Amino acid sequence: MFGKKEEDGPSPDLDKQVPVQRYDVTTYDEAPELVACPPHTTESQLVSKIDLHVIPFLCIMYLLAFLDRVNIANANVFGLSKELDLLEGNKYNIALVIFFVPYILFEIPSNLLLKKMKPRVWLSICMFGFGVVTMLQGFVQNYSGLLATRFFLGVFETGMFPGAFYLIGMWYRRHEAQKRYSFFFSSTTLAGAFGGLLASAIGKMDGVRGYKGWRWIFILEGLLTVLVSFAFFFLLPNFPEEVKWLTEDERTYVKARLAIDQGKSARERPIKMRDVANVFKDPKILVGGFMYFGLIVPAYGYAYFSPSIIQGYGYSPIQTQLHSVPPWAAAFGFSMLVAWFSDKFKHRFLFAIMPICVCISGFAILLTVHNNRQVQYAALFLVAMGAYTAMPVIVCWFNMNLGGHHRRSIGSAWQVGFGNIGGIIAVFSFLKKDSPKYTPGYSISIAFVCLSALSCCLYFFMCSWANRKRNKSVRDVGLTEYEKMELGDLNPEYRYLL
């Protein structure tokens, strides 16, 4: 799906190893580099097989999750605020922000449940839940009902994003991961584009069976999610140790190639509370949260308020939905282009900073140009392209630098959970009283994008320093395989991707 594999520097060429007749646990534990690719396939074919079984289903799952999360913006264009009496004060913004309360709090517990249960079971249950809640949004009659449904939407969606990123990270080597992460993350841009097209069509159902068009947006999109969740109970992937579509020798080889790149996964090892505390002793974990946090503000600001911003340019509701599509499509193309180059050069830092600069330039134009609709609309392209390209690079860079199930499950949930606090800031940055210029919102977004850039620089420095320090130290310090597994990326033999 994503092209041929690339060799990872000094790592052994797994395809050229002398075949091992027995793929037993002893051979794998003692020398994973000696496990050969099964004779009936090649590594590139095996990676393509993984792509087809892992990425498409996770992408569809998250596309529906993001669609159900932000379709309230499309519904608002068709009169949600007017019918539910949300025009006074900041009621609409509060309805948006209540989603983030459970979404932030339950990220780490959700990833712990994902590891304890099979991923396809946990994720499909969550998917069914937020589909039902989305449908219920179409039947609410007042402000209180909307708040209740938005809260429970956050409860069920909390595991989608960190769970999928965590799962992808357990399937791919580090230099293979960015294209997959960006393709998955681009589900958000596709959801934005698809949501605009879908809303423009569904909005024409206004009055059908006595329901307004905005209600049909929630009902039909939620129903689609519910139906897909039943199929995904059987189709969503599990961890490499558990899937049935790999043969035993393929499974052993996949585990071995990942062990060479990232160390042993420790899938069988339970996660305890002391593991959570130990992970947060590493300052790089905290910095990783700020990297993502800084970009969430402009990303959610754009997702929730771009339809209102575009409508302020004088477009009708249907034209507004249609004009919201091209910036999302451009963001998808730019994200995949940057991901391809990032994997090709096996580098992350510069490919995170570059789109961040694109995002800043877009907000700078929106802040300074107020009388040219075409230029303002073009600036929205830059904002979407920059924010939604930098985010998957940052998440992939951070996640794939975490070694082992316990550090990755906790670290990925922390980054996404803490980062989404920015969603609360985004919701209250773009207030109706500030339209159509939205000067406070654009200014706040630039500040937080700069925070993300500074955090990326700090994380790059910390990883570089750790690599240099380990290069100067003695490689063999007498650690057992169990001790290396427990240390994860803190293992002296581990090298961070920059």
Walk me through the domains of the chain, giving residue ranges and CATH numbers.
Answer: 14-490 (1.20.1250.20)
Tokens standing for 474?
Answer: 């003695």
pLDDT at 8: 40
Which stretch of DSSP H or E encloses residue 404?
none
pLDDT at 17: 42
Q: d(Cα 215, Cα 336) in Å, to the nearest integer?
A: 34
Tokens standing for 361?
Answer: 């330039």
Q: Is the alpha carbon torsion for 370, 374, 380, 383 positive or negative?
A: negative
Q: d(Cα 117, Cα 93) in Å, to the nearest integer?
A: 35
Contacts by residues 80-87 (CB-CB < 8 Å, ≥ 24 positions apart): 80/214, 83/212, 83/214, 84/140, 84/141, 84/142, 84/143, 84/146, 85/142, 85/143, 86/143, 86/146, 87/432
222 to each of 132, 228, 354, how far by Cα in Å?
Answer: 6, 10, 36
Which stretch of DSSP H or E encloses residue 177?
helix 174-185
| In contact, 217 and 74? CB cutoff 8 Å | yes
pLDDT at 204: 79
pLDDT at 90: 85
Q: d(Cα 232, Cα 228) in Å, to the nearest integer?
A: 6
Q: d(Cα 479, Cα 498) in Å, to the nearest integer?
A: 25
pLDDT at 23: 35
Q: d(Cα 224, Cα 130) in Å, to the nearest integer?
A: 11
pLDDT at 115: 76
Residue 436: cis peptide before it, omega within 30 degrees of 0? yes
pLDDT at 270: 62
477 to each of 10, 14, 482, 485, how far by Cα in Å?
Answer: 20, 26, 14, 14
Q: d(Cα 250, Cα 235) in Å, to the nearest integer?
A: 19
| In contact, 54 and 171? CB cutoff 8 Å | yes
Q: Please report, in tens digits, the pLDDT of each residue of the chain (498 residues total).
A: 554 444 343 343 434 443 333 333 334 444 555 678 888 888 888 889 989 998 899 988 988 988 888 888 888 888 888 899 888 878 988 998 899 899 888 887 887 788 778 888 999 999 999 999 999 999 999 999 999 999 999 999 988 887 887 788 788 887 788 888 888 888 777 777 777 777 778 877 877 887 888 899 899 999 999 999 999 999 888 888 788 888 888 888 888 888 776 655 555 556 677 777 888 888 999 999 999 999 999 998 888 888 888 888 888 888 887 888 899 889 989 999 999 999 889 899 999 999 999 999 999 999 998 888 889 999 999 999 999 999 999 998 998 888 877 788 788 888 988 998 998 898 888 888 887 888 999 999 999 999 999 999 999 999 999 999 988 876 666 667 667 777 778 888 888 989
Q: Is the alpha carbon torsion for 207, 213, 214, 219 positive or negative?
A: positive
Q: d(Cα 452, Cα 458) in Å, to the nearest integer?
A: 10
| In contact, 122 and 456? CB cutoff 8 Å | no
pLDDT at 445: 95
Q: d(Cα 254, Cα 387) in Å, to the nearest integer?
A: 33
| In contact, 170 and 407? CB cutoff 8 Å | no
pLDDT at 26: 37
221 to each of 29, 121, 317, how far by Cα in Å?
Answer: 47, 22, 19
pLDDT at 2: 53
Residue 431: HSE in the Cβ half-sphere, 13 Å Cα cutoff: 12
Give Cβ neighbours of residue 17 (< 8 Å, ≥ 6 apart).
Answer: 33, 34, 35, 36, 37
